[in-house]
Amino acid sequence: MELTIEKEPAGKARKEKDRVHVFAPATVANLVCGFDILGLALDEPGDEVIMERSDQPGVKLLKITGDDGRLPLDPAKNTVSACVQMLLKHLNREDVGVEIELHKHMPIGSGLGSSAASTVAGLFAINQLLGQPLTKQELLPFAMKGEELACGHGHADNVAPSLFGGITLIKSYEPLEVVSIPVPKSLYCSVVFPHVDVPTRAARQMIRSKIELKDAVVQWGNIAGLVSGLFMSDYGLIGRSMQDVLIEPVRAILIPEFYEMRQTAMAAGALGFGISGSGPSVFAFADNHPTASDITRQIVQHLQSKGIDSNGYVSAVNQQGPREL
Amino acid sequence: MELTIEKEPAGKARKEKDRVHVFAPATVANLVCGFDILGLALDEPGDEVIMERSDQPGVKLLKITGDDGRLPLDPAKNTVSACVQMLLKHLNREDVGVEIELHKHMPIGSGLGSSAASTVAGLFAINQLLGQPLTKQELLPFAMKGEELACGHGHADNVAPSLFGGITLIKSYEPLEVVSIPVPKSLYCSVVFPHVDVPTRAARQMIRSKIELKDAVVQWGNIAGLVSGLFMSDYGLIGRSMQDVLIEPVRAILIPEFYEMRQTAMAAGALGFGISGSGPSVFAFADNHPTASDITRQIVQHLQSKGIDSNGYVSAVNQQGPREL
């Protein structure tokens, strides 16, 4: 596994702790044209994990809030506790006992990397508790295992940005290589989660496994354009590259008012607009905070006028990934 | 048409000339993973056009050297004269008469953008002769018309780098948008043209029109990685991104000793290796000039040992495009 994302020293021994309180960010995967390879972290929303040592070995899940009772409390089935358990085993530290509280501050099944944020928060927490025996690079495969448990597929496009912060490119899976893409200074995200149900698996299954080469060429022109625009802080190029001729037309079918939301966003000054992950959340880029606020507000209002409730967020790109609170 | 490639002032009147002698560079299209969207210009080889005003209106092609008599001398059929004629018509300057000599210093049908270099040299020459009425951006569509005449397809992946120099990304065709990608300081190219015949049209027809989405995802990870590597001057990332799971396996069939040439190049220290355009020329990147020389020499020697003659080149990336000699 080769990761070019950061240069932090590996395995530098630090003080162990008895209790940590960790935040990990929600994420927007794909960024329209970068299906399965691009993603970014948000300043908000995100999930929190409170982890405390206990005298009894083993991982206990004390409580989960904000999930409406939808997530399993069984430590073997919950991705947070299961990943923490895996990490302890890997480190030969199964003597350690921890009690976990998971506080979800974002909707489940929203396309904002809900499971990824929880998993990353849990893994970051146990690593902090143990004095940071592992680097973020070393934590990544465990987070991917968590995604496999949660979604049936060990994708990195949500866990990588949640863990490293910023905008990440999954350059390849074999070998696993994550590249950090620079974040233009004035880039802001509008994110709206409409309260409609789009299961990730169903959304994934709708995508055709064969595509036209000519469509793929259009797509990789846009990907190369988006990456170039991010490196050059060229907001116009970023916006013009946010086009997806392959996945979006299929996934948009499952998202009510998708094209009306796009029209609303673009009219309000968005650089580009698209689906966050597999949806139903949508996002837009703007080159300043007031415009991003305006886009979120107008999309939420539009949905409301159609009788659809939603959560709206306005966020800079989170540059840090998980952090202790 | 939107081009972000340069900021030169449009239509700035300069002095007309009676005679110009122009060089335009050969090009390497695709850069392995960037099928139809990426290309770069070479310092050598390249073609030369000598253009002189005459008293008679119309475009005359006086002579062509270096083509072994393969190119048409009929001014309506030769891409150089045909494009010059088109440009004069566009400018309402059909009163102008010119006589052209085309000196080809590179092989035809080699995958090094032979027709593109000639066309760009001709268009650059007439534009210089007339006092630069058009910008390079404005010349591009005429060069693409030349490609359509020469290859049956108005691609920009050779004419764009030949015209603008450096490494170019064809971000999109509709609308046409070319983005200039930075060239790492120590990037050198080894280029070898084996004397075997691979017609562009045949090579293009062998490519399947449908591809697997999962292969496309691998491909766009590599494209995004290559573009990132070029922006960051990360030679390792550039090399690791030079992989093509879609086009190369098909085109390599037509190129004798392709995999042996790759092995030779990589063993000699290449960052990456692949087909130039549709072949049969191959190229490698190296992060210094001696290594690039070594790669070229070893590939040429390998081909010789198999009874195949070849032309070998070692070149920096040409940053300027066409120039007056």
B33 and B172 together in one domain: yes
B245 phi/psi in degrees, rounded to 5: -90, -5
B245 and B201 together in one domain: yes
Domain boundary, last residue among B147, B180, B213: B180
Domain boundary, last residue among A149, A180, A211: A180
What pLDDT, on a 0 to 100 scale, did the predictor assign at position A200?
60
B contact residues 188-217, partner A, Cβ 8 Å cutoff: 207-214, 216-217
A228 and A83 together in one domain: no
The whole-angstrom distance between residue B320's C-alpha and the CA centroid of its chain comes to 13
What CA–CA distance (Å, rounded) separates B199 from B243? 23
Write the pLDDT tens digit of every residue in B139-185.
Answer: 999 999 999 988 778 789 999 999 999 999 999 998 999 999 999 99
A226 and A261 together in one domain: yes
Grouping H, G, I as helix, E, B as strand and the rest as coil, residue A129 is helix
What pLDDT, on a 0 to 100 scale, did the predictor assign at position B60?
94
What pLDDT, on a 0 to 100 scale, did the predictor assign at position B309?
96
Range of the domain at A26: 19-180
The CB-based long-range contact list for A87-94 (8 Å cut-off, 24+ gap) reads A87/A123, A87/A126, A87/A127, A87/A134, A87/A139, A87/A142, A88/A59, A88/A126, A90/A142, A91/A130, A91/A133, A91/A134, A93/A130, A94/A57, A94/A58
| 8 Å CB contact between B146 and B83 | yes
The domain tally of chain B equals: 2
Predicted complex ipTM exceeds 0.95: no
Mutate to test the interface with B, among A2, A213, A214 (most CBs of B within 10 A): A213
What pLDDT, on a 0 to 100 scale, did the predictor assign at position B1?
42
What pLDDT, on a 0 to 100 scale, did the predictor assign at position A208?
82
Say if strands A210-212 and B210-212 run parallel, antiparallel, or are unpaired.
Answer: antiparallel
A78 and A174 together in one domain: yes
The two structure tokens encoding residue A282 = 């949508």
Does position B76 have pLDDT exceeding 90, yes or no? Answer: no
Residue appearing with tokens 């929600």: A26
**Whose CA is closest to A120, among A79, A71, A177, A174?**
A79
A147 annotated active-site:
yes
B240 Cβ neighbours under 8 A, 6+ residues apart: A2, A171, A172, A177, B225, B229, B272
B125 and B39 together in one domain: yes
**Whose CA is closest to B192, among B243, B257, B144?**
B257
A51 and A93 together in one domain: yes
Query: Do the domain assignments include residue B37?
Result: yes
Q: Inter-chain contact B237–A170, Cβ cutoff 8 Å?
A: no
* Alpha-carbon distance B180 to nearest alpha carbon in chain A (angstroms): 9
B173 and B192 together in one domain: no
Query: Residues of B with CB below 8 A from A219's CB?
Result: 216, 220
A287 Cβ neighbours under 8 A, 6+ residues apart: A184, A186, A187, A188, A235, A271
Query: Do the domain assignments include residue B76?
Result: yes
Instruction: Tell me the CATH number at B257.
Output: 3.30.70.890
**Whose CA is closest to B151, among B104, B112, B109?**
B109
Q: Find the mean pLDDT for residues A51-79.
A: 91
Instruction: Tell me the CATH number at B89.
Output: 3.30.230.10
What pLDDT, on a 0 to 100 scale, did the predictor assign at position A1?
42
What pLDDT, on a 0 to 100 scale, did the predictor assign at position B10?
52
What CA–CA distance (Å, rounded) separates A160 from A28? 11
Helical (H) or strand (E) element with A64: strand A58-65
Helix axes B289-305, B258-267, angle to 10 degrees: 140
A contact residues 149-178, partner B, Cβ 8 Å cutoff: 169-172, 177
One-letter amino acid for residue B131 of the chain: G
B250 phi/psi in degrees, rounded to 5: -80, -50
What CA–CA distance (Å, rounded) separates A223 from B150? 29
What CA–CA distance (Å, rounded) separates B77 from B149? 8
More confident residue, B296 or A208: B296
B166 and B133 together in one domain: yes
**Whose CA is closest to B324, among B166, B78, B121?**
B121
What CA–CA distance (Å, rounded) separates A266 from B50? 50
Q: Compute the CA torsion angle A208, A210, A215, A221 (nearest 10 deg).
A: 100
Query: Do the domain assignments include residue A218?
Result: yes
Q: Inter-chain contact A34–B220, Cβ cutoff 8 Å?
A: yes
A27 and A118 together in one domain: yes
At B109, the pLDDT band (50, 70, 90 cuts) reads: confident
B122 Cβ neighbours under 8 A, 6+ residues apart: B22, B49, B51, B79, B80, B81, B83, B84, B100, B102, B146
Grouping H, G, I as helix, E, B as strand and the rest as coil, residue A173 is strand
What CA–CA distance (Å, rounded) separates A36 from B212? 14
Q: Report chain B's mean pLDDT, rounded to a whole number.
A: 92
Write the pLDDT tens digit of every residue in B179-229.
Answer: 999 999 999 999 999 999 776 667 667 778 899 999 999 999 999 999 999
A-B interface: how many C-beta pairs under 8 angstroms? Answer: 130
The whole-angstrom distance between residue A47's C-alpha and the CA centroid of its chain comes to 11
Q: What share of chain B is helix, strand, coil (3-state, %, to 5)?
A: 35, 25, 40
More confident residue, B94 or B3: B94
Active site residues of B: 147, 200
C-alpha dist (Å) from residue A168 to A183, A194, A306, A323: 10, 25, 35, 18
Domain boundary, last residue among A180, A204, A236: A180
A163 and A233 together in one domain: no
Query: Do the domain assignments include residue A103?
Result: yes
One-letter amino acid for residue B60 of the chain: K
Query: Do the domain assignments include residue B98?
Result: yes
* Alpha-carbon distance A234 to nearest alpha carbon in chain B (angstroms): 10
Grouping H, G, I as helix, E, B as strand and the rest as coil, residue A46 is strand
Query: Residues of B with CB below 8 A from A36's CB?
Result: 217
Query: Do the domain assignments include residue B77?
Result: yes
Query: Do the domain assignments include residue A248?
Result: yes
Write the pLDDT tens digit of every residue in A25-41.
Answer: 999 999 999 999 999 99
| 8 Å CB contact between A162 and A24 | yes
Q: What is the DSSP string of B244-294?
A: -SSSHHHHGGGSTTHHHHHHHHHHTT-SEEEESTTSS-EEEEESSHHHHHH
The whole-angstrom distance between residue B228's C-alpha and the CA centroid of its chain comes to 22
Q: Is A112 annotated as a binding residue?
A: yes
A104 and A230 together in one domain: no
Query: Do the domain assignments include residue B4?
Result: no
What pLDDT, on a 0 to 100 scale, did the predictor assign at position B9?
52
